[in-house]
Amino acid sequence: MTSETLDGAVRGPGGADVIGDQLFFHGWVGTCPGQGSRWAYTADLGWANDYPVVRGSRVRYEAERGAVNHAVVRTGAVGASQGAVVAKLDYQDSWVDIQVFAPTSGEYTAHVAYAAGYGDAQHTVTVNGTSRFVLDYPAHGWDNWKQVRASVNLTRGWNTIRFQHHNRWAELDHVEIA
Same domain for 31 and 74? no
Same domain for 158 and 108? yes
Q: Could you tell me the residue range of the domain that residue 89 belongs to? A: 59-177
Same domain for 36 and 12? yes
Tens-place pLDDT, residues 155-166:
999 999 999 999
Same domain for 72 and 144? yes
CA dist 101 and 105 (Å) reads 10
The count of domains in the chain is 2
Same domain for 79 and 37? no
Same domain for 94 and 148? yes
Same domain for 26 and 108? no
Tens-place pLDDT, residues 61-113:
999 999 999 999 999 999 999 999 999 999 999 999 999 999 899 999 999 99
Same domain for 112 and 145? yes
Strand, helix or coil for residue 5: helix
Same domain for 158 and 70? yes
Q: What are phi and psi of 160, to 5 degrees?
A: -110, 125
Same domain for 64 and 139? yes
Q: Which residues does residue 52 pair with via DSSP β-bridges, in sequence order?
A: 47
Same domain for 64 and 36? no
Tens-place pLDDT, residues 24-68:
544 433 333 444 443 334 445 565 555 555 656 789 999 999 999
Tens-place pLDDT, residues 128-174:
999 899 999 999 999 999 999 999 999 999 999 999 999 999 999 99
Give helix then strand counts, H and E, for the chain.
0, 15
Same domain for 35 and 75? no
